[in-house]
Amino acid sequence: MQSSSEQLPDKVQDAALKPVSQQWRRRDTTLIAGIWAITAVALALLSVAAHVSAEFPGDEGLAVLIQKISFPPLVHFIEFSSDANWPAPAAYAALAIILVLVVARQLSAAIAAVVASFGADLANVTLNALVARPRPHDVHIHVVANLGLHSFPSGHVTHVITFYGFLLYLTFRFAREHPRWTPLLWVVRVICLYFLIFIGPARVLEGEHWPSDVLGSYLLASLMLVVAIALYHLLLMGFARLRDWLAMRRLRSGPNQLA
């Protein structure tokens, strides 16, 4: 004997399950929004503390520990993640990737990538000016160059975590929609993971930031990454509705044109 759910037509079953899926989507959205709010509060508190204190307890000790890495090939390997993300090369790379997304007709991803790159940079510059924390100096760590500006949060780290984090997210999204792209997507994933893993240690290794600066960057980048991903999905829905509306309009105007 068939169960009552098996006897229902597919459309009826879909209608019955739809409220449950919507409920889960609301739960997921509420959970993500709650985590986002907690992260924002943590960033605000850390920013106030960084404004008051030039360094936190443990900053120097952890920086010295990271700078004990002295094997030249490893040092160069780690520091390349920083060198490749100075403002000029980072901007050129972002613009090139955004252009590729536009050519690939991934307009929603391209627009969200703009926010994940230049939007994150703007947020970092704004917070950096407000906190106005001096860079490490006159301490027992090696500093590659005296860059000026301020230290909290790190622009390199904020840009990389947000932008390459968003690209990493896109690779999993595109893998489901475009299986033929899988080999290329794996190359992109490896590049993204390299930058994501090493950019934080690299900035401390070069003596340009305290570990707490990097922590602030991770928090800010997490907030911006969620914004970029949310914008991407909103754009997908918006463009889908626009296409449906245009298709319905063409269907309705078809008989009149024929007449």
Across residues 184-202, what is the average pLDDT?
97
The mean pLDDT of 129-148, rounded to a whole number, is 72
For 26-51, write each residue's pLDDT tens digit. Answer: 787 888 999 999 999 999 999 999 99
pLDDT digits (tens, 9 = 90+) for 85-104: 999 999 999 999 999 999 99
Write out pLDDT tens, residues 208-246. Answer: 999 999 999 999 999 999 999 999 999 999 988 888 888
**pLDDT for the residue numbered 162:** 98
Q: What is the DSSP string of the chain?
A: ---HHHHS-HHHHHHHHHHHHHHHHHHHHHHHHHHHHHHHHHHHHHHHHHHH-SS-TTHHHHHHHHTT---HHHHHHHHHHHHTTSHHHHHHHHHHHHHHHHHTT-HHHHHHHHIIIIIHHHHHHHHHHHH-PPPP-SSSS--S----S--SS-HHHHHHHHHHHHHHHHHHHHHHH-GGGHHHHHHHHHHHHHHHHHHHHHHHHTTSS-HHHHHHHHHHHHHHHHHHHHHHHHHHHHHHHHHHHHHHHHHHHHHHHH-
For residues 158 and 12, which has the higher predicted lDDT (pLDDT)?
Answer: 158
Is pLDDT of 18 > 90?
no
**Arithmetic mean of pLDDT over the chain:** 86
Global pTM reads 0.84
Residue 249, pLDDT score: 82
